[in-house]
C-alpha cells in the first residue's frame, strides 16, 4: 500500500510541473513571484549563458525539416529523440 501512495504522490507532483521549465507551477506561477515588483521571498531568473538540451535540439531540427516538406497538420505529429551510440 505504501508503494501505491508514493506512486500517486509522484503523479500528483509531476502533474503540477510546468511543461516548459519543469518547475512546480504552484511556485513558478504564484502571484508575487515576478522579478520586478513581486513580493514573494523568491523570484526566477534565467541562467546565463543558456544551456542547450541536445535531445530537444534534435527534435527541433526534425520539426523544421518536416515543416519545410509541407506536411499537413504538423502540430499533430509526435517527435522523439533517440540516444544513439557513435561509430
Tell whether 71 and 32 lie within a shared domain: no
Tell whether 27 and 60 lie within a shared domain: no
Range of the domain at 31: 1-50
Tell whether 5 and 24 lie within a shared domain: yes
The predicted-structure confidence for 50-62, as pLDDT tens digits, reads as follows: 888 899 999 999 9
Tell whether 41 and 2 lie within a shared domain: yes
Cell of 83: 540516444
For every one of its 87 residues, what pLDDT tens digit does the chain have, with 9 covering 90 and above?
689 999 999 999 999 999 888 899 989 988 888 888 888 898 888 888 888 889 999 999 999 999 999 888 888 999 999 999 998
pLDDT score recorded for residue 49: 85
Taking the alpha carbons of 33, 36, 37, 41 in that order, is the dihedral positive or negative?
A: positive
Distances (CA, A) of 50 to 7, 46, 47, 53, 61: 33, 8, 6, 10, 18
Residues paired with residue 24 on neighbouring β-strands, in sequence order: 17
Tell whether 37 and 59 lie within a shared domain: no
Tell whether 34 and 71 lie within a shared domain: no
Amino acid at each position: 500500500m505504501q508503494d501505491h501512495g508514493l506512486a500517486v504522490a509522484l503523479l500528483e507532483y509531476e502533474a503540477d510541473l510546468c511543461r516548459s521549465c519543469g518547475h512546480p507551477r504552484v511556485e513558478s506561477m504564484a502571484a508575487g513571484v515576478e522579478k520586478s515588483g513581486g513580493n514573494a521571498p523568491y523570484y526566477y531568473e534565467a541562467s546565463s549563458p543558456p544551456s542547450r538540451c541536445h535531445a530537444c535540439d534534435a527534435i527541433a531540427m526534425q520539426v523544421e525539416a518536416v515543416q519545410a516538406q509541407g506536411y499537413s497538420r504538423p502540430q499533430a505529429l509526435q517527435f522523439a529523440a533517440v540516444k544513439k551510440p557513435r561509430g
